[in-house]
Structure 1
Amino acid sequence: MNAAMRAAFLANPPDAYVLAGVRAPAALVPELSLSPDREGLVQINLFVVENAIAGLTPHGETNHPLPRLDLDGALVLPGLVDVHTHLDKAFIWPRQPNLDGSFAGALAANTIDREARWSAVDVARRMDFALRCAYAHGTVAIRTHLDSIGPQTAISWPVFAEKRAEWADRLTLQAVALAPVDNVLDDGEFGPLVETVARLGGVLGTFTWPAANLQAGLDRLFAAAERHGLDLDFHVDETLDPAADSLALIAQTALARRFEGRILVGHCCSLSRQEPAVVDRTLDLVARAGIGVVSLPMCNLYLQDRAPGRTPRARGVTLLHEMRARGIPVMAASDNVRDPFYAYGDLDLVEVLREAVRIAHLDHPFADWPDIVTARPAAAMGLGGAGLFTTGAPADLSLFRARSLNELLSRPQADRLVLRAGRSIDTTPPDPAELDDLMGEPR
């Protein structure tokens, strides 16, 4: 069946049908024990009844009366999960670029823009634009960090709550409070922030580098999370300085307190510069503490080891292979999108997967790596069986013309079909011109 016929069928499908002969990563099909091919794919039939996955069978078992869409080995992925984004910062690049591309430049530009322009209207419009981008690309769940500093907490968190309600039937949204450790230790800042996060069902967090009073800040964060039953999510060691070791401190604190909530850490760039013995000790602690790690490879490559007129040598991408070998849950995410921390992107997790594979050598074999934008981040967000092909799950899928992971990662896949509740949606992302009136002149 050609692409036009597939699109026509899925735009107005029957209440029950079969996607026949699709290929999927074996690790994402836990109900079937099939021998995968050399890329880790299996070929299956996927039954859709009343908007949900009603069953999975090995390809070739055809005894069923349902309408059948033959897909000839086309690749399918479950709903994509973006576990680390910054929707409050997104798309400010045209009005507040990072003129030298440095980390310090990003911090300064973001602060200027936040203090001057992040009204409720501004944040709401850019956040909605970002959500439409992600939705068009096949994402079903997003966790965003929100700058929770001074008066911005009272602006951005209600906007987030409003968008979470508006999008509830299309995207699962979570938010993390992002504030420096000094604010965690400030009663006037931290008390109202914890109350807001607890009331709106968010996640507590901080960025851990640089921080002079990190252990005191961690103790206070953990205590607040324990008191209110909240999870924790940290920006960790986003630097190439090998002396940055807050990842080990977080793990030690979690173990000492026997913390029962979920902990996620992002970046962990300094690991790539530390001695093997230090890395081994740190990763052993992280594994014991049950901490998940999210790599943000595109943003890290953009910011790390940048100097004018000099080609970067150290790239700052964290140690995904070594972590996975220890059983540490690892994942990848969009992070920043068209803001001072990363000038590019579109909240497209297929792009994130493609770049992560190339940057971190997540191939030869591909094996289980597609779970870094599906099942692993879904588990980190507490979303049960999301990101997997399981009976009873919503039929939220992405279908590609690609028949292998190599084909998938060799082209942008702009012609993918995204299914929500078994029916294709419009995959046209919104036009950036919609935000022109918010941009003004670049500073």
Structure 2
Amino acid sequence: MSETPPPRTFAELRRSFPEERAFRIENARAPLCLLAAHGVAGDAHGFARVDVMVEDGRIAGIGAAGGFHLDGEDLPKLDVGGRILLPRLVDVHTHIDKGHIWPRRANPDGTFMGALTSAEADREANWSADDVARRMDFSLRSAYAHGTGALRTHIDSVGKQTAISWPVFAELRESWRGRMALQATALFPIDLIWQDEAEFREIVAAVARHGGVLGGVTYLGEAPGARLDAALDTLFQAAAAEGLDLDLHVDESLEPQARTLERIADAALRTRFAGRVLAGHCCSLAIHDEAERKRVVDKVAEARIAVVSLPMCNMYLQDRASGRTPRWRGVAPLHELRAAGAPVMVASDNTRDPFHAYGDLDMLEVFREATRILHLDHSSHDWLRAVAATPADLMDLDRAGRLEAGDPADMILLPARSTDELLARPHADRLVIVAGEAIDARPPDYAELDDLMQR
């Protein structure tokens, strides 16, 4: 432990951050559920006091505060006084190809259909390679500044847009390599499979060529039937043939007939699909009766399907009617899904576009709002996994979402010392550490996109 008392303010801590390539962070409070270290015990709130040794951009060692000894006792030390230390977080469901178009194409009434028609109109009018690249890069710089270490985005893959957006994403993924791990998922309506098989095959080929994930939107307003089952079989078989994982938009509605999640689980079991499957939204599952919901939840767990809820976007869109106070929260039943054994996550979804007018790809904000909306508090103490280790596993990133010796020294140091302090404020003054170095954690200026918004 350091012989000098810890700095009195977080601002002093920031100014004291070591510039050397090797140093120790001491007396940090880290979530036990995101730690891989021996001899570390958690407190009643799920946090453990730890020291972290950083060397050449990686975590050289991590252990219990005051009881952890490695070579390097003479290294610069930063005693953080029990502040919370997190790994960089993982955002598994975003739409950065749509991001930041709100100033030129707002949602006229805040409804899902208003969002759909507005986004489609903007895509047809404006989504050139340059337009998409600039808005996507702006989104990534925002996420990076807030402490996101890995991100998956859905990419509209219909008509001409497939050939435009996927090469743009591939270039951005390469330019961001080493700073943020990026993945992409094709987004198209499931009925395309039976309406235009040739275009569907082109989408599959583009996804495979660019190392992506195969997706789709499975609820389009009609009750599921044999045609949907056949389309799902085709989708699962195409993914298996190309060695692709699946990431689907599912039942993003509070309409009673939105019931495709169970059909997806049936298809996964029927085809014996070996890849990963992620189901996003699953809003209507919350309005099923108790017996039906339990049956579907158990089947989802049996099929090894993971579920991501998008609480901020779905609160914005779902159960909206002019002059009427919403009755439903529009979120999936994550507590029940997790209890059944299904991996569960929360993520950002849309940012400043017709589907969600707000947000900034800040996973700390997502976790704070998810805790309030989904009542993650007064529950177990490992819900931080839903924005870190669990999506990292889903994305097959074994060096993300955890604090472990040998991993890159990618961390977020926060002014907070407890869960209530963590969730009470936005913490815009957080310290984001990438490869052992504190980065300039200032999001880009909205004015950068002004010329695009004049179109």
Q: TM-score range by the shorter chain?
A: over 0.9
How far apart in 1 are the matches of 2:343 and 2:75? 38
How far apart in 1 are the matches of 2:427 and 2:418? 12
Letter in 2 for 1:306: R
SS of structure 1 residue aligned to 2:397 = coil
Letter in 1 for 2:218: T
Residue pair 1:178, 1:207 contacting (<8 A) in 2 also: yes
Residue 202 (structure 2) pairs with residue 188 (structure 1): no
Residue pair 2:329, 2:373 contacting (<8 A) in 1 also: no
| 2:387 aligns with one of 373, 376, 382 | 373
**What CA deviation, in whole Å up to 9, does each residue of 1:32-58 have, x standing for no partner?**
353322221111111111110111111
* Offset of residue 396 of structure 1: 0.5
Residue pair 1:375, 1:385 contacting (<8 A) in 2 also: no
How far apart in 2 are the matches of 1:135 and 1:420? 10
Residue 32 (structure 2) pairs with residue 26 (structure 1): yes
SS of structure 2 residue aligned to 1:181 = coil
How far apart in 1 are the matches of 2:266 and 2:68? 54
Residue pair 1:379, 1:385 contacting (<8 A) in 2 also: no
How far apart in 1 are the matches of 2:415 and 2:261? 41
**What CA deviation, in whole Å up to 9, does each residue of 1:153-174 have, x standing for no partner?**
0101011011111111211110
SS of structure 2 residue aligned to 1:308 = coil
Residue pair 2:338, 2:344 contacting (<8 A) in 1 also: yes
How far apart in 1 are the matches of 2:237 and 2:371? 37
Residue pair 1:182, 1:217 contacting (<8 A) in 2 also: yes
Match of 1:66 in 2: 75
Match of 2:293 in 1: 279
* Offset of residue 217 of structure 1: 1.5
How far apart in 2 are the matches of 1:439 and 1:305? 29
Q: What are the ranges of 5 or more consecutive residues in structure 2 without an aligned counterpart?
A: 1-6
Q: TM-score, normalised by structure 2?
A: 0.95
How far apart in 1 are the matches of 2:40 and 2:20? 29
Residue pair 1:140, 1:172 contacting (<8 A) in 2 also: yes
Letter in 2 for 1:55: G
Residue pair 1:17, 1:66 contacting (<8 A) in 2 also: yes
Match of 2:119 in 1: 110
Q: TM-score, normalised by structure 1?
A: 0.97
Match of 1:237 in 2: 251
* Offset of residue 31 of structure 1: 2.2
How far apart in 1 are the matches of 2:68 and 2:344? 37
Match of 2:4 in 1: none
Match of 1:54 in 2: 60
Residue 239 (structure 2) pairs with residue 225 (structure 1): yes
| 2:188 aligns with one of 174, 179, 199 | 179
SS of structure 2 residue aligned to 1:57 = strand
Match of 1:158 in 2: 167
Match of 2:453 in 1: 439
Letter in 2 for 1:188: A
Q: What are the ranges of 5 or more consecutive residues in structure 1 without an aligned counterpart?
A: none
Residue 215 (structure 2) pairs with residue 209 (structure 1): no
Residue 416 (structure 2) pairs with residue 402 (structure 1): yes
* Offset of residue 9 of structure 1: 3.3
Residue pair 2:40, 2:63 contacting (<8 A) in 1 also: no
* Offset of residue 244 of structure 1: 1.6
Residue 136 (structure 2) pairs with residue 127 (structure 1): yes
* Offset of residue 99 of structure 1: 1.2
Residue pair 2:30, 2:49 contacting (<8 A) in 1 also: yes
* Offset of residue 343 of structure 1: 0.2
How far apart in 2 are the matches of 1:358 and 1:71? 28
Q: How many residues align?
A: 440
SS of structure 1 residue aligned to 2:63 = strand
Residue 20 (structure 2) pairs with residue 6 (structure 1): no
Letter in 2 for 1:361: H
Letter in 1 for 2:209: R
Residue 48 (structure 2) pairs with residue 39 (structure 1): no
Residue 430 (structure 2) pairs with residue 416 (structure 1): yes
SS of structure 1 residue aligned to 2:33 = helix
| 1:197 aligns with one of 198, 203, 207 | 207
How far apart in 2 are the matches of 1:209 and 1:337? 22
Letter in 1 for 2:198: G
Match of 2:270 in 1: 256
Identity of aligned residues (%): 56
How far apart in 2 are the matches of 1:169 and 1:249? 39
Letter in 1 for 2:204: V
SS of structure 2 residue aligned to 1:355 = helix
Residue pair 2:37, 2:63 contacting (<8 A) in 1 also: no
* Offset of residue 243 of structure 1: 2.4
* Offset of residue 5 of structure 1: 3.6
Residue 157 (structure 2) pairs with residue 148 (structure 1): yes
* Offset of residue 7 of structure 1: 1.8
Letter in 2 for 1:164: R
Residue pair 1:38, 1:365 contacting (<8 A) in 2 also: no
Residue pair 2:90, 2:149 contacting (<8 A) in 1 also: yes
Letter in 2 for 1:18: R
Which ranges of 4 or more aligned residues in structure 1 deviate by more than 6 Å? Answer: none
Letter in 2 for 1:335: D
Worse overlay, 179-188 or 336-345:
179-188
How far apart in 2 are the matches of 1:9 and 1:32? 29
Match of 1:339 in 2: 353
